[in-house]
Amino acid sequence: MTDHSELPLNRAAWMRFVRVVRAFVGSEVGWKARVLSLLLLVFLVGINAFNVISSYVGRDFMTAVADRKMLEFVWQAVLYVAMFGASTVVAVLYRFCEERLGLLWREWLTRRAIGLYLVHPVYYRLDETGEIANPDQRIADDIKAFTTTTLSFVLMILNGTFTIIAFSGVMWTISPLLFGVAVLYATMGSYLTVFLGRPLVWLNYSQLDKEADFRSDLIHVRENSESIALLRRERGLRDRLQHHLDLLVLNFRQIIAVNRNLSFFTTGYNYLIQIIPALIVAPMFIRGEVEFGVITQSAMAFAQLLGAFSLIVTQFQSISAFAAVIARLGSLWEAIEQAQSRAVSQIRIAESDEGPLVFDHLTLKSPRDGRVLVADLSITVEPGMRVLVTGPNERAKLALLRATAGIWRAGEGVIQRPGLSRILLLPERPYVPPGTLRQALLGNGQEGRVADDTVLAVLHQVGLERVVKQTGGLDTERHWGDVLSLGEQQLLSCARLFLAEPAFVILERPNTALSAGQVEMLLDWLRERHIAYLAIGNGEDQATVRYYDYALSMEDQGLWRWEPIESRPSRPFDTAAQGTA
C-alpha cells in the first residue's frame, strides 16, 4: 500500500482550497453567503452569551438548593427554564442557517465542477489516462463532504474562539490554577492525538477510492445484466467484487485499529475532564473560600473551555476524513487543469462552414510509445465525395477518426473541416443519452423547431415508429440504453443524422450494429442528398463497395494508399509518393 507520505495533500491543494472559498464569496450567490454568514456569527455570539449567563444562573440555582432558600430556588428555576427556551430558539436558527449555507455552497461548487469536467475533451482525457480514480464520486460525494465539513469546522473554530474569550474570564475568577491546568491539558492532548491518529488521513483517503471501486463494479453488473447472463460471466464478476470487497474490508480494519488506539487515549482524556475541576475547586469550598454552586459552575466552565481548546482531540477522526477529501478534490482540480493543458496539441483544427475536409501533412502517433500510426497524410475529401477507410492498421483508422473529431492529440499537421453544425459522427457503438426521444433526436435548442410530423416520418423511415407508441410518445423520458437494443440505438442515431442533414458524415464500422440492408438504406440516403461521408471499414465492406468513390487504405508502419475505388494498386504508396485527391 502507498505510504501516507505520498498523500497529495500539499501546499498547492490548500491554495486551491483558499481559491475555492474566495471564488464562492465573490460569485453571483456570494451575497446570500455573506448574509447567512453574518446571521451565523450573530447566533454564535448569542449561543455563547447564553452559555455564560447559564453558568451564573446554574451557580445561583445550586447555591439556593444548598442554602435551602425556597423563594430563591423558584426564581432561579424560572430563569433556568427561560434561558433554556431562548437558547433552544437561537440554536435551531443557527442550525438552519448553517444547513442553508452548506447547501448553497455545495450547489455552486458542484455546478462549477460539472462545468469544468464537461468541457470538451477534459472528461475524455481523465478517462483516457486513468490518473484520477472515480471522478464521479469526487464530484458527487467529496464536494458534499467538503462543503458541509468545511463549514462545520469553521464554525467550530469560531465557536471555540468565542468560548475561550467568554469563559477564560469566568475560569480565571474562579481559579487561575484551574485555567492553567485546562490550557496545559488541552495542549498535551492535542499533540498525542495527532501523533496517534496521523495514519487515519491516508487510510480515509484510500477508503474512499476502495468504496467507489466496489460500487462501480456493482453498477457495472446492473447496467450489463443481460450480457452477463447470456455469457455466463457471473463467476469472474463475483471474484472481482469479492476482491474489491477484501481490499475495502482490509483497509477499514486498519482504520478501526487506529481508531481503537486513538479511542484509548481520547476516552480517558474526556473522562478526566469531569473530575479535574472538582479536584481543584472542592478543597476551596471545604475551606469556605467559595460557594457550593461554584463547583458546578467550574465544571461547566472547565468543560466548555477545554472543549474549545481540544478541537483536535474531539474531532480528529473528522479532521482526518476532511483532509482526505481536500486531497482528493485537489487531485481532481489538478487533473482537470492538466487535461485542459494537454487538450492543446500540435494537430491544428481549422473550421469553416463551407469547403472540403482536408488532411494537410497529418501525422498521427501513439500517445503511449510515440510510434507513427499515420505518416504525412495529405488528402482532400470534397463535398459529396464518398470515401472508404480500409486496410489492416486498425489503430491508424481509429486514430484518424478521433483526430477528425478533435480528441486525438498525439501528432502534428492540420485538419481543415466544416464546423460542428455541418459535420456529424456516427460511432460504432451508438450513444443515446437518457431523456426524451425528442431530445435524443434533435440537437440542443432544436427541439421546438422541427415539427412532430417530420420527426415521426423519419422514425418510420428507419423502422422505429413502434418505439414511439411503446414508450409513450416523443416527450416521455427513458434510459434508452435499457429500452432499445444496440441495433435500435444505432437506427435512432441514423434518424438523428437524417434530421440534422449535415454536409459531412463520418461513419465508424456501420455494419457492426446495422444489418446489410440497413447499411444500404443509410448509404442510399446520404448519396441521394449528396452528403459526403468517410466510412471506417472493418473488412466486411465488399457488399457495399459500390457506394464509395475512393478508398483510403491504412497500412502498417504509417504507410497509406489513396485511390479511386475501381483501380486499386497492389501495394501501398511509399511515404515519398503520397499524394492528395
What are the tens digits of pLDDT across the range 244-282? 999 999 999 988 888 888 788 777 777 777 777 777 777
From 90, 71, 70, select the one nearest 82 (Cα to Cα): 90
pLDDT score at 135: 78
**pLDDT band at 572, cuts 50/70/90?**
very low
What are the tens digits of pLDDT across the range 20-50? 888 888 888 889 989 998 999 999 888 888 8
In this structure, are residues 393 and 554 in contact, taking their beta carbons and an 8 Å threshold?
yes
pLDDT score at 446: 64
Domain 10-342 has CATH 1.20.1560.10: yes
Query: What value does the mean pLDDT of the chain take?
Result: 80
Q: What is the CATH number of domain 347-432+484-577?
A: 3.40.50.300
Rounded Cα distance, 323 and 336, in Å: 20
For the chain, give every residue range classified as CATH 3.40.50.300.
Answer: 347-432+484-577
For the chain, give every residue range classified as CATH 1.20.1560.10.
Answer: 10-342
Rounded to two decimals, the pTM is 0.62
From 393, 341, 385, select the one nearest 359 (Cα to Cα): 385
**pLDDT band at 569, cuts 50/70/90?**
very low
What are the tens digits of pLDDT across the range 374-414? 999 999 999 889 999 988 898 999 889 888 888 887 889 99
In this structure, are residues 210 and 137 in contact, taking their beta carbons and an 8 Å threshold?
no
pLDDT score at 317: 65
First-to-final CA distance of the chain: 56
Q: What is the 3-state secondary structure (H, E, C) of 398-436?
A: HHHHHHHHCCCCCEEEEEEEECCCCEEEECCCCCCCCEC
What are the tens digits of pLDDT across the range 49-87? 887 788 777 777 877 877 788 888 888 888 888 888 888
Rounded Cα distance, 426 and 424, in Å: 7
460 pLDDT more than 50: yes
